[in-house]
Amino acid sequence: MIILEHRHSHHPSRPHTIAVFGAGLVGGAIVRSLIHAGAVLASELPLDWRSGERQQQDLERIRQTILPNHRGGHLERLDLVWAAGKAGFGATWAELDGEMTTFENIIRWAVALHGSASDMQVNLHMLSSAGGLFEGQRFVNRESQARPLRPYGATKLQQEIFAQRHCTGMGLHIYRPSSVYGFGGPKGRSGLVNTLIQNATKHAASRIFGDMDTVRDYILASDIGSFVARGILTNVTLASISTLASGKPTSIMEMLRIIGRVVERPLYLKLESSPSNAGHITFSPSILPAHWRPTDLETGVRQTARHLGLYFERGPEGGDRAALFSVG
Amino acid sequence: MEWHLTMASDSPIFVSIVVPVYSGESYLRSLTSQLDAIRADWRQRGLPVDLAEVILVDDSAIDGSPTIVDALAGEYDFVTALHLMRNFGQHPATIAGILHSSGDWVVTMDEDLQHSPSDIERLLRRAILTSADIVYALPSRGVHQTRLRDWGSRGFKKLMVLLTGNTNIQRFNSFRLLRGSLARAASSVCGHETYFDVALSWFTRRVETVKVDLKDHRFIETGRSGYNFWRLLTHARRLLISSQVKIVRLFGLIAVATVLVSIIGSLWLLIERVFFPSPTLAAGWTSLMLVLLFFGGLVTFMISLVLEYLSIIVLATHGKPIFFAVDRSIDRPLAAYFATESR
């Protein structure tokens, strides 16, 4: 996990600490946006997911890193960002068990942290999944009910409910992004867009799970990063739940055409007939937050291809963690 | 905990309406309220189909339409406003709207009430009962109510059929019902110069028509129409560019025939010279003609071959697909409903 500090220009003596759990595709984008907005990378600490005992030790170390600032009478606000997740859309209950346990431990830890310094404003920013919650639903609007169809979505819903139950007295902001794409470094999970771009570059075949007409909603990770960072660093009023979607349905066919245009290479495809990932998920524009301005899909794909291309050219030595969080 | 992976099967069939807007300030409110009435009627009658969204595509309209489009999007939660940066034209605006839709069926219609929303159900019924993928509205009589203009429109379509060999051109109409998957796929492959309806015919041959009473109210009332001679020429050009032009093949055949005639003529001349020698008045004239015929035919054939290759490349660039799979099983609930209703 990553700890950042931000000093507002009008209150330089009162630092604002932000702790980000998970620095993958979305978490990394949030960290980059925070740094871009003036936050400083303070420290990077490990968090064990396998052993409960080691996890508690790691959390205690994180608490000790954060709290001295407060004891010094400076820290007024702490924002915790949960953007971690080890299991993907097709994960089983067994694979998701560890994630749920870690999430519960961190929420309990955050509640205890808030209890030990009740004069400090603590906010939890939780990244959930609109795709998991509304899988198989189209025209999702404010009245739509979350009806997960698989363990991944059900776990996300359980996490939301758990956070709402336990985070009393804390500010809780839940973000529900749709299908996220963008450059997230070498370790992160590779989604449809990244896989297609990378395979086209390597002249390798891509396996498509779903029909050519499977309609989804795609958003760029950096858009989420900017939105969440603005919510953390400015006094903009955030809704308790923000659905971060583009409001523009995109079929696999359209996505393939866009990527083909961007990479200017043939896309070799293998279509998997398995219907398990063929459900449509689309969102009505009326559900989108007021200050949310998603990037146009083709522009986003071009940006992603450029970042992937640069990483491909520079190789692993040019893509170390420091570089991943660098701005520009 | 046990969890069964199931797909949502209780959702109705969704219909999206796409309306390109250019100068529709006088009609948009009425059109939206008529569509809202249809939506309410379907729900009341328990049709397993939902008019889920109306996408109003402001194609840099020249009147007060953009403000009305935004106002309607605020008033009706099923209306989506989409503003294009400049005037791209009716087809690109339609394509943009379709690419923002996610319905199982997509209806495209004009802004000026030339196409009555009450006919949408008839188009849908025809599509479901005949397992069609496209249903065009066919004017039951003259749209403009002036013979010259209506004959001009029909004559133009017949000429295009002759030049391209695509008989569907006679059915082309901007009031159409399209299977959602097909509409989005065809829209995805359309380039700047692709004629949208030609792109649709690359995907399916299941095209039906329904005769409806179409009237160009704007032309009848004001004498103004969205079409003029230059627009018609642009349409013709795009139709020809998007289609595999039949006339190129005709030239190829003529060229082959010319080469064959020249070869037969040469043989005949040779036989005549060897077996039936006779004094000629103009020596070399026939040979010269045969040589010209041979090489003329050969060059024409090569040009038609190059044009045919070019046409294949252009169509591939336009995105003509090798194949496209379809799932028509989604129509079943509606087919069952229509069958029950007709009993």
> Domain map of chain B by residue range?
13-243, 246-318
Judged by CB atoms closer than 8 Å, whether chains meet at A249 and B100 is answered as: yes
A279 touches chain B (CB under 8 A): yes
Among chain A residues, the shortest Cα distance to B325 is held by A212
Q: What pLDDT is attached to residue A53?
A: 84
Q: Which of B56, B184, B326 to mutate to test the interface with A (most CBs of A within 10 A)?
A: B184
Given the cut 0.90, state whether the ipTM is greater than it: no
Segments making up each domain of chain A, as ranges: 2-324
A276 touches chain B (CB under 8 A): yes
A199 touches chain B (CB under 8 A): no
Portion 16-75 of A in contact with B at CB < 8 A: none
Within 8 A of B188 by CB-CB distance, chain A residues are 251, 253-254, 256-257
pLDDT confidence bin for B280, thresholds 50/70/90 = low
DSSP tag of A83: -
Nearest to A279 among B7, B80, B99 (CB): B7
Portion 66-95 of A in contact with B at CB < 8 A: 93
DSSP tag of B3: -
The three-state secondary structure class of A262 is helix
Q: What pLDDT is attached to residue B241?
A: 76
Structure confidence by residue, pLDDT tens digits, B141-192: 766 556 666 777 778 788 888 877 788 888 899 999 999 999 999 999 888 7
Q: Which tokens belong to A234? A: 């400015």
Structure confidence by residue, pLDDT tens digits, A213-229: 889 999 999 999 999 99
User: Topology of B13-243 in CATH?
Assistant: Spore Coat Polysaccharide Biosynthesis Protein SpsA; Chain A (3.90.550)
Q: What pLDDT is attached to residue A68?
A: 67
Structure confidence by residue, pLDDT tens digits, B1-57: 333 434 444 578 999 999 999 999 999 999 999 999 999 999 999 999 999 999 999
Packing angle of the helix pair B147-164, B246-275 (nearest 10 deg): 50
For the cut 70, the answer to whether the pLDDT of residue A305 exceeds it is: yes
Structure confidence by residue, pLDDT tens digits, B227-253: 667 777 787 777 777 776 677 788 888
A299 touches chain B (CB under 8 A): no
Within 8 A of B322 by CB-CB distance, chain A residues are none
Judged by CB atoms closer than 8 Å, whether chains meet at B80 and A284 is answered as: yes
Q: What pLDDT is attached to residue A121?
A: 85
The whole-number average pLDDT for the span B135-142 is 86
Nearest to B102 among A136, A141, A280 (CB): A280
Q: What pLDDT is attached to residue B9?
A: 45
Structure confidence by residue, pLDDT tens digits, B74-95: 999 999 999 999 999 899 999 9
Structure confidence by residue, pLDDT tens digits, A130-153: 999 999 999 999 899 999 999 999
Distance in Å, alpha carbon of B183 to nearest chain A alpha carbon:
10
Spell out a b/e string for A93-109, using b for 16 or more CB atoms within 10 Å of the CB, else e.
Answer: beebeebbebbebbbeb
Q: Phi/psi class of residue B16: alpha, beta or left (left: φ > 0; alpha: ψ in -120 to 50)?
A: beta
* Inter-chain Cβ pairs, chain A and chain B, closer than 8 A: 76
Within 8 A of A150 by CB-CB distance, chain B residues are 3, 5
Report the alpha-carbon distance of residue B23 to residue B63 in Å, rounded: 6
Structure confidence by residue, pLDDT tens digits, B249-278: 888 888 889 889 888 988 888 888 788 877
pLDDT confidence bin for A13, thresholds 50/70/90 = low
Judged by CB atoms closer than 8 Å, whether chains meet at A139 and B102 is answered as: yes
Cα separation values, B294 from B142, B263, B306, Å: 50, 7, 18
Nearest to B7 among A136, A141, A256 (CB): A136
Residue type for B175, please? F
Write down the CATH superfamily of domain A2-324: NAD(P)-binding Rossmann-like Domain (3.40.50.720)
Distance in Å, alpha carbon of A291 to nearest chain B alpha carbon:
17
pLDDT confidence bin for B73, thresholds 50/70/90 = very high
Report the alpha-carbon distance of residue B125 to residue B127 in Å, rounded: 5
The whole-number average pLDDT for the span A95-123 is 88
Distance in Å, alpha carbon of A20 to nearest chain B alpha carbon:
30
Q: Which tokens belong to A151? A: 């363990």
Distance in Å, alpha carbon of A265 to nearest chain B alpha carbon:
13
Report the alpha-carbon distance of residue A313 to residue A305 in Å, rounded: 12
